[in-house]
Amino acid sequence: MVPTADLNRLPLDIAPEVSAAIADGRPVVALESTIITHGMPFPDNIEMAAAVETLVADNGAVPATIAVLDGRLKIGLSAEQRTLLANCADPLKLSRSDLAYAMIKSRTGGTTVAATMIAAALAGISVFATGGIGGVHRGAEKSFDISADLEELARTPVIVVSAGPKAILDIEKTLEVLESKGVPVIGFGTNTLPAFWSRNSRLAAPMRLDAPGEIAALFAMRRNLKLGGGMLIANPVPQESEIPADQIETHIEQALELAGQQGISGKDVTPFLLDQMLHLTAGASLKTNIALVRNNARLAAQIAAAIS
């Protein structure tokens, strides 16, 4: 954690209930906001953001949604601030590369997994819940499109609770890069790696843990070994909400083809694909996305409790 004097020089606001919990060593769960600004349509985005905060609180932790509002890095948003963010006309999608830019230009933006990890670590928050992380895109051997989320997992000591890499990615290459960078990937209660909308991919989970306490123990062991970096928890979406892999794959291929035809590149790729999936599945992908974020928020709160 950065000394408080340095934090004081930043345009940074930690919500009072969040900073009190951090100071007392009570459980806190960070939540990202690109899912609000770029990941889901209005008003599902704002409803999801509120529901996830409630779930974290119901499971005994303090929620801290992270975003940049008018150039200020916010750790913990009020309901009004969440609404402002969800209604912002031209929000930025902020990762490690452009977080500081948004702050000097007084812009508003959602933080990706990478930028949310950075902010969480600054504030002393160790657990973070999201939907799916970014990773190595299909065709990355040509496009070089590899999410900054992977490098951040290698660098920043935060536990990221996800439903696995998004199935629109090349999951196999994503796992390879994470292994190269020394990031543990943990199947929670499963031997196979979950793939976001589906409980299973064709790949084995590199490691398996079955209880929040075990995840807390692994985090502590890595810290004591001074390994640095974070951990990725892959928590399968609940059975009743999953879309089986063979069903989702046809839609993914259609969405990727459209992205290619329309020349979508850079940071627009992931939001474009998620939006196409929403249409191609007639809304089913969104329902599953909401269910898996909720499931991850619950587990993240339990992990935060086990740590504190």
Which span sits near ligand PSU by CB under 6 A: 127-135, 204-212, 234-242, 277-285?
127-135
x-or-dash string of contact with Mn ion, 109-148, rule CB under 5 A: ------------------------------------x---
Task: Confirm or reject binding of residue 149 to ligand PSU (CB under 6 A).
Answer: yes
Task: Confirm or reject binding of residue 295 to ligand PSU (CB under 6 A).
Answer: no
Task: Confirm or reject binding of residue 131 to ligand PSU (CB under 6 A).
Answer: yes
Chain-centroid distance, C-alpha 259? 23
Q: Is 142 a catalytic residue?
A: no
Task: Confirm or reject binding of residue 149 to Mn ion (CB under 5 A).
Answer: no
Comparison of 61 and 291: residue with beta carbon closer to ligand PSU:
291
x-or-dash string of contact with ligand PSU, 267-286, rule CB under 6 A: x--x---x------------
Q: What is the C-alpha separation between 42 and 291, in angstroms, rounded?
A: 17
Binds ligand PSU (CB under 6 A): choice among 134, 164, 165, 212: 134
Q: Which helix (H) or strand (E) holds 16?
A: helix 16-24
Classify the C-alpha dihedral 277-280-282-285 as positive or negative: negative
Comparison of 122 and 306: residue with beta carbon closer to ligand PSU:
122
Residue 130 partner contact from Mn ion, ligand PSU, none using kind-dependent CB cut-offs of 5 to 8 Å: ligand PSU
Given the residues 32, 53, 152, 242, the one annotated as active site: 32
Given the residues 53, 93, 152, 166, the one annotated as active site: 166
Q: 135 is written with which tokens?
A: 């990773």
Q: What is the C-alpha separation between 117 and 71, in angstroms, rounded?
A: 18
Whole-number Cα distances in Å, 80 to 84, 97, 99, 150: 6, 28, 22, 32
Which regions of the chain does DSSP assign to beta strands (E)? 12-14, 28-31, 62-69, 72-75, 92-94, 109-111, 127-129, 159-162, 185-188, 207-209, 231-234
Instruction: Report whether 146 contacts 180 (CB < 8 A).
Output: no
Task: Confirm or reject binding of residue 45 to ligand PSU (CB under 6 A).
Answer: no
Q: What is the C-alpha separation between 36 and 57, in angstroms, rounded?
A: 19
Residue 59 partner contact from Mn ion, ligand PSU, none using kind-dependent CB cut-offs of 5 to 8 Å: none
Closest to 196 measured CA to CA, from 116, 112, 274: 274
Question: What are the residue numbers of the active site?
Answer: 32, 166
Under the rule (CB under 6 A), what is the footprint of ligand PSU?
A: 32, 34-35, 38-39, 112-113, 130-132, 134, 147-149, 267, 270, 274, 289
Under the rule (CB under 5 A), what is the footprint of Mn ion?
A: 145
